[in-house]
Structure 1
């Protein structure tokens, strides 16, 4: 065990007594590693978060590879971690770890790719809602796609479902808005820190979600969204939902990535068909034809997922 890791854990623990050593270790891991780092995840599942931090910073411990150390150690900064925790306090962010009563155990299905911690603005209890349906789709949504998304999301809320999505423009935003307009609960998963709402054009929407639901990220406050983080964010949307519904998506839409994660996790996947001439629905048709997605045309069929 090196002075670096020992000092980090002890110094931060002295400043944040409300956090356990395990929670502090998970803050460090979420700060120095990219989401879904499987080697680190395997270590955490085997020896725990605190010991994983010690192993990463101990050059003589062969339980961690040189590659893992090369990924993590250059990004380590006590100042940076303190800054993330101060921002969390300023924005009313709750750190949710497996020790927290509202840790969503469904994400544990991700195994070594599971998040180390979740940073949450809003109601943490919503993360444990059993009847959670993810509704995702294209950013460049058509009027048809937005209309069917609004109808199905509102109908699911009426049936007691919580709506999860990724807060993007297009289908995601409509799913959140429909849930809020129906007086329902909704969760938005971000690819960057929850102190920086993204996209910025959804600042007002995300503020409303904080008040009536939860805005969640596995990345600490201050972390910017990147392409890789968007793709990794999708695995959490899929994991912490009972089913995933793609209402409109082009052939290469990122929402197909969410559906892929759902299939890998054994979650039911539904897809709404569109006009065969519409490129905006070519992705949902592909899900139905090639990947066994259930064809969904209304709220009742969505609820059956």
Structure 2
């Protein structure tokens, strides 16, 4: 695990992505830092996000060394708080968990992208340089389990029908093709979704962290129909659990998946080809590919590595 050389930092986190933030804060605490957390733009999710009891849910009375934000509204709040409190010397970083906005506020914070593709996008958008960290994964928790693989294909995500980037229309075509050609393949959609948005033969339910790990391990194939996104955390955790993954060939995904080596990338829009690949993988799990998928995530996304690099990029502008 990465160890930040600066001991006893005081960190204030404006939480914008609770499941991810809980993992990052846990690593900061392990490194010996003092962590404060407040929720402004996004409320904390107690059901799906663990909060360490050592995290202080308040604004610190004395000046923090670092303020970390994850949304534009939080960045506004952070700058305002710094000015009102006269926290001279406190560094503010903005982690772009989603595509960055074209907003002049970004010139007043230290920007952190979550993949090289986003870094290039931000550079072209506002001529701003940013550091890169990948979304963190608890690779000690998300791992392969000694459970038998079933002839089963699953996808993971929230709001498939309501969020345009999720590729809902592609997903319906793909699962229909899979079911028509191989009705013996079990199909599941895990996440917060309406079961009525899917055919009756598809299992649809939300899972907690422990349940999700088990279900991922039971599946021979985990697939993703996202059409415009950065690197999905659900894809990362599936790869960490040594899954055989299938996804569209989005530029960000190429940073963690080597086609035919650590997973499969299908040209965007080729739904029939996609379905056939899922059918093939569902009946023929490749353990070596799964091991290579996990290694890719361990090398780039291990949560201790990410937590330390966030602090390094926030404190040291020369590393951007």
Task: Give the TM-score of the pair, scaled to structure 1.
Answer: 0.31
Q: Whose helix fraction is larger, Structure 1's or Structure 2's? A: 1
Q: Whose strand fraction is larger, Structure 1's or Structure 2's? A: 2
Query: 1 or 2 for the larger relative contact order (CA 8 Å, sep ≥6)?
Result: 2
